[in-house]
Amino acid sequence: MVRLREGYPKGVAIALMALLVLIPSALDGQTRGRRGTSSNGTPHPEAFKGVIVTFQGKLKKLTKKEIIIESTEENHELLTFRRNKATKFLDNDTEIKPGAIDFESLVTVDASEDVDLKLMAVSVSVGAPKKADAK
């Protein structure tokens, strides 16, 4: 049993004991909702698998592992794409070697998300993108 000092009233001692018991359980209750994932969160990365996005810009750098273009948008942002042996380089729908593309040339890059959510170039075409046929 807890002994009370003579200076503390009995009611204050009981209130202190109650707080000491309730505080740890209240703190534990605050963290329970943070465990696990919420159903309202962002979509799972696999939801966008296979989606191809087209970017257009001037070719700034071309190496064996990456392609950098400067966006033709008004912000002139630099965009970096990974490339691999499956990346196709095209000029008028004819496959060409990557070295045949001049720097500062206008290129169109079709890219998709890689497994680590970075952009992977699927194809690089010289010139502006072709207009879709209106039907």
DSSP state of 7: T
Given its phi and psi angles, is residue 36 left (phi above 0), alpha (psi -120 to 50 degrees) or beta?
A: left
Q: Read off the pLDDT band of 63 (50, 70, 90).
A: very high
Q: Would the pTM count as exceeding 0.85?
A: no
Confidence of residue 1 (pLDDT cuts 50, 70, 90): low
Long-range CB contacts (< 8 A, 24+ apart) of 99-104? 99/62, 101/59, 101/62, 101/126, 102/59, 103/59, 103/60, 103/61, 103/62, 104/58, 104/59, 104/60
Q: State residue 79's pLDDT score.
A: 94
Predicted local confidence at residue 29, as pLDDT? 54
**pLDDT of 46 strictly over 50:** yes
Domains of the chain and CATH, by start: 50-126 (2.40.50.320)
**What torsion do the CA atoms of 12, 18, 24, 28 make, to the nearest 10 degrees?**
-130
- The DSSP output letter for 58 is E
